[in-house]
Structure 1
Amino acid sequence: MQRRSFLQVSGAALAAIGAMLRDARAQDSGSFDVVEKSISELQAAMTAGRVTSEQLVEQYIARIKAYDQAGPRLNSVIALSPRAAEDARELDRERQERGPRGPLHGIPFLAKDNFDTIDVPTTGGSLALAGIVPARDAYQVRMLRRAGAVLLGKANLHELALGLTTVSSYGGQTLNPYDLTRAPGGSSGGSGVAASACFAAFTLGTDTSGSIRIPSSHNSIVGLRPSLGLSSRAGIIPFGHTQDTGGPMARTVEDIALILDATVGYDADDPSTAVSGGRMPRTYLTSLERGALKSARIGVLTEFFGSAPEDAEVAAVVRRAIDEMKDLGAAAIDVEVPDLARLVASANLLTQELQFYLGEYLQRAGAWATSVEDLLASGLHSASLQGILEVANAIPDDYLSSDDYEMRLAARETLGKALIATMDANRLDAIVYPTIRRIAPVIGGAQAGSNAALSANSGFPAISVPAGFTPGGFPVGIELLGRPFAEPTLLALAFDFEQATHHRRPPKLDVTPPAVPVPRDGDPGVLRANVTATGERSSPPVKVPFRANARFLFNQDTRVLACDVRLSGNTSAAAGVYLHRRASRPNGGVAHILSRSPSARVTSAVTLTEAEAADLKAGKLYLSVVSAASPRIAARGDLVFS
């Protein structure tokens, strides 16, 4: 394999760890807390004997149990690895016997659940992939393990990476730790929340059009979308091969550099990485120098700041960040890229490839649904995906050989040339703008204001770094876009800005979500439905060894829907209780997860969106109790209110 080895500790990495080691030895050896610790700090503490990798695993899992599964119930982690502690113990023994492999030795991380992993199911957040365990790790996961990192588990995502608010039929809705009523961004929202809440040292995300950078902005962390071809996509559930990338998400720029060192380079299983040869430094750590902004020229892409009133609060934070860059010595020049909106739109390949590459993956993985059409027909997807799946499913079978496809590929080259021309004409090191122009929507709403397509549609690298907070306390990120394979420049600028401003502020986790007012029978405006769910009522009818009798109450004013579900028969054969929403087919996607581990009685209350409430009254919602044998086997009953 034509890539540099990461098994040897670079001189720069050793120097960084050495500095942290001196600090660690000076502290009380009786306690260690993982909160806000960087990779170098964790490594130094292990080297000093203050903590072991196994103890790090235990601490991160304890935080996940305290804040992800309880307390605010952020719901960012979809599964934990059953072998994480064992792997950590083995790496602790190896450290004692032979020393560390490198800066990531014993460091726990979480991977977005669209990276293949051999020890944890890779579901993509979809019921269609429930329980599927790949035979091989994704390339980046494999390289991290080889470098000594410990896979702690998998992070929730917007199902199949097809959205920006992080809700999935298998994992449910992830909450933003800075405002529990809002989404965390997406599609790598679980990765963003987990990194920000210190559920792991770092996380992996993917980015087809903003899915690393948007949740990084919304969670006050650093996220890098690498140049197309720098890092392998092999083993990542595909959205579209043209725009897909995978990359690091962490609390510091230095951590991003360390993760890059382990994960970049040529991989025969991803031909796009052939262009990376000779375009990588020995280590990205050498880019991290204070003063990088002193001689930098930054292009301010004014068009991407927006003009709507809703764009103003984020724009103000980013403009202050640019002023801070100027105070650090940078020259900031307002720039325009001629005809930019048309160029970006012409180069878009967001949904056109989906049915081909996702379909191939589903078939190869042995999924419960084996095509986009099958996903739609089965209802084994989040209802939030209905629109994008219908659009993808309507793409002609011969699209990849069409003139339109060739024109869009050519348009990517045209967009890239226009960006280079603008950067050359103004002698720019980077172009800056808000990562996303608006804060996250309230749960159930749609994310607006994305600037993600510029990097995604050109293949140029972009990094989001914390820029500050809105007056209401919501995080804002500033995005720096560079030339192809200019990650060292982007890291240098981001590092200098980060170290001078320290805008990251960790979320306060000792809070609980606001209580949902449960409707009571007889209250004004409350509708009632009694539902019987059986296999015979499924589409198509099936035989299941259980049934459900449920009572639903719906408050029309608050849109809160409460349920009391009683299971009978062989209840141990049931694997989950779901509320589905039909569109134009007999089966519809999952609107809400009522229970992922049902007992004989399940009680729950969820708040419906206005559209869901309308469909409820129209008779389009139904209850399903899914079999443990297959999610395609379920008892079902329609909700009909009186």
Structure 2
Amino acid sequence: MTAMKRLSILLGLAVAAAALTIRAQNGRKPFTVVEATIADMRAALDQKRATSRQIVEQYLTRIGMYEDRLHAAITVNPNAIALADERDRERQQGRIRGPLHGIPIALKDNVHTTFMRTTGGALAFENLVPPYDATLTKNLVDAGAIIIAKSGMTELANWVAGAPTPMPGNYNAVGGQGYNPYDPRKDPREATFDGRPALGTGGSSSGVGTAANFWAGNVGTETSGSILSPSNQNMLAAVKPTVGRISRYGVIPITADQDTAGPMAKSVTDVAIMFGAMESATPDPNDPATTKCTPAPNRDYTVYLKRDGLKGARIGVPRAFYFDRLDAMPEGNRGGLTAAQKKAMEDAIAVLTQEGAIVVDPANIPSIAESDPTNNFVRWSTCSGVTNVKGKDQDCSVVLKYGMKRDFNKWLASLGAAAPLKSLAELREFNKAHEKAGAIKYGQSQLDISDEMDVDGDRARYEADRAKDLRLSATTGIDAVMKAERLDAMFFPGASGAAIAAKPGYPTVIVPFALVANEPTPPFPSGFNAK
């Protein structure tokens, strides 16, 4: 960090401290962004206890103090204060753009912004400024949000390196390794002493900055678990929406079959506010999937947040695999919870019952408990890494590796003259040529198995696998148990239900509830006090 940058941070601290002191001397409770919700900020702005500029200054101060330790951001918006001043002037003039007016929000760095670079965490795109904004970026700005930063992420949404050396969550070649604010130390175990975190961050989206109070909330994207996983690891609430609810136009893809963006924040109310702001009022002509979903009236989902909303709701508990170990499964893929995890979930189930829910327990998913391996969801994995190259991919789904080549190349074409590369093949060549610069620290086996797919020649295989994905996840999976038990929802531990809901594009909501010990296998060395 340069002396000038240090000086700027110190000046920022002095300004923030002075402002807080003045408010305190006037007998008014000072406002702080630490652990403040979007609802708290809106109230403070309405009551003139804070300005958007002051909120942004506090967040920038925290970024300046802790970013070097956490690596939560890939790019911080240099115009954030100017944007805050603009929102303050609009507020003074009686113009409120929408529910996020003057609220700082971060976007995952695979979401297009024409006013900041969009890297996807890849060195090949380190200086890419896309020629168009993502639809969701435009929607958030129209709702008054200040896009304060582009958050860290697992490079290209975790579709770069699988087996034999899988990329750790929240690592990317541009910004390095992200760290969990609940324990921002490196993993000390010899086999994994490569800079990865001792306490996982989840991925491929990042919840680090929201948890560390760098911004009010952030936009993540998910293909299979990448909103739910980091929210679980950073104690955040989030919605992984129905595919098509939020436009994917201007988001670097893996596959249109499963990709979606979604909000991550400190509370369910904050998530509901962001959700409505991210959604378009009408279908996006650039994303045909958006024709499937009709927005809530005025795109306001907060009206559905009812204190007695669980009364009479039928909630299913899928014990098999998700709670209880299935010994009939192959070693290493038998599921189940530890004693501490199970205790936390039993406590949560008790709360559901206390709030008036009708808990259907067990409500096992047929395709999970199925004894026939060819009809069992757990045994039908997603093709990944060198173990599932062509010729070794008969027993896994090619949907993601096929979809990545099809949709990534379409995305590159949409960039026109701004595209630094023209194809997935060119990206692989770039990475190999820039290996010494850190382009492929963990290899690029995911990109390799995608590029070997023939979009025309392998279409029949893709379509067959996509049909099997939908049959096992939906028809004989979630749909079957929901219908048989007349359920309103299913109750999964943490992010464990991500994969089965992702394939048919079903929505999932996650909320923080309990903390359990960080006890990995193999264990941490003696004397390392895990948090």
Asked if TM exceeds 0.5, the reply is: yes
**What amino acid sits opposite 2:244 in the alignment?**
G
Partner of 1:375: 427
Aligned-residue RMSD, C-alpha: 2.5
How does 1:221-232 map onto structure 2 within 5 Å?
A: 221-232=236-247
**What amino acid sits opposite 2:77 in the alignment?**
S
Q: Alpha-carbon deviation of 1:283?
A: 1.8
Q: Residue 407 of structure 1: which of 464, 480, 485 is its match?
A: 464
Q: Tell me, yes or no, if the aligned pair for 2:59 and 2:213 is still in contact at 8 Å.
A: yes
Q: Structure 1 residues 158 and 125 mapped into 2: Cα distance closer, same or farther (>3 Å)?
A: same
Q: Residue 180 of structure 2: which of 170, 176, 179 is its match?
A: 176
1:339 aligns to 2:367 (yes or no) = yes
Distance 2:295 2:131 in 1: 32
1:80 aligns to 2:137 (yes or no) = no
Partner of 1:137: 133
List structure 1 segments (4+ residues) > 6 angstroms apart after TM superposition: 278-281
Q: Tell me, yes or no, if the aligned pair for 2:277 and 2:299 is still in contact at 8 Å.
A: no
**What amino acid sits opposite 2:66 in the alignment?**
Y
Distance 1:310 1:46 in 2: 46
Q: Alpha-carbon deviation of 1:30?
A: 5.7
Q: Tell me, yes or no, if the aligned pair for 1:203 and 1:250 is still in contact at 8 Å.
A: yes
Distance 1:348 1:29 in 2: 60
Q: Alpha-carbon deviation of 1:309?
A: 8.9
Partner of 1:398: 456
Q: 1:48-94 CA distances to partner (integer Å, 9 max, x unpaired)?
A: 1111111111111111111112xxx0101111112211111111101
1:427 aligns to 2:423 (yes or no) = no
- Which stretch has the larger CA shift, 410-419 or 199-208? 410-419
Higher strand share: 1
Pair member with larger Rg = 1
Partner of 1:53: 52
Secondary structure of the residue aligned to 2:503 is: helix
Q: Structure 1 residues 451 and 357 mapped into 2: Cα distance closer, same or farther (>3 Å)?
A: same
Percent of aligned pairs with the same residue? 35
Secondary structure of the residue aligned to 1:339 is: helix
Q: Residue 243 of structure 1: which of 258, 262, 278 is its match?
A: 258
Q: Tell me, yes or no, if the aligned pair for 1:126 and 1:382 is still in contact at 8 Å.
A: no
Q: Which has the higher contact order (CA 8 A, sep 6+)?
A: 2
Secondary structure of the residue aligned to 1:377 is: helix
Distance 1:91 1:392 in 2: 44
Residue segments in structure 1 that go unaligned for 5+ positions in a row: 1-23, 437-449, 475-513, 515-642
Secondary structure of the residue aligned to 1:468 is: coil
Residue segments in structure 2 that go unaligned for 5+ positions in a row: 1-22, 160-167, 185-197, 326-333, 369-374, 381-395, 521-527
Secondary structure of the residue aligned to 2:444 is: helix
**What amino acid sits opposite 1:290 in the alignment?**
R
Distance 2:488 2:397 in 1: 23
- Which stretch has the larger CA shift, 379-388 or 337-346? 337-346
Q: Structure 1 residues 324 and 56 mapped into 2: Cα distance closer, same or farther (>3 Å)?
A: same
Secondary structure of the residue aligned to 1:110 is: strand
Q: Residue 404 of structure 2: which of 354, 359, 375 is its match?
A: 354
Distance 1:404 1:348 in 2: 8
Distance 1:244 1:309 in 2: 25
**What amino acid sits opposite 1:167 in the alignment?**
Y
Q: Tell me, yes or no, if the aligned pair for 2:199 and 2:518 is still in contact at 8 Å.
A: no
1:188 aligns to 2:205 (yes or no) = yes
Q: Structure 1 residues 260 and 53 mapped into 2: Cα distance closer, same or farther (>3 Å)?
A: same
Partner of 1:105: 101
Partner of 1:35: 34
Q: Structure 1 residues 55 and 139 mapped into 2: Cα distance closer, same or farther (>3 Å)?
A: same
Partner of 2:90: 94
1:315 aligns to 2:342 (yes or no) = yes
Q: Tell me, yes or no, if the aligned pair for 1:178 and 1:473 is still in contact at 8 Å.
A: no
Distance 1:335 1:28 in 2: 56
Q: Alpha-carbon deviation of 1:369?
A: 3.9
Secondary structure of the residue aligned to 1:246 is: strand
- Which stretch has the larger CA shift, 244-253 or 162-171? 162-171
Q: Structure 1 residues 329 and 34 mapped into 2: Cα distance closer, same or farther (>3 Å)?
A: same
TM-score normalized by the length of structure 2: 0.76
Q: Structure 1 residues 468 and 240 mapped into 2: Cα distance closer, same or farther (>3 Å)?
A: same
Secondary structure of the residue aligned to 1:268 is: coil
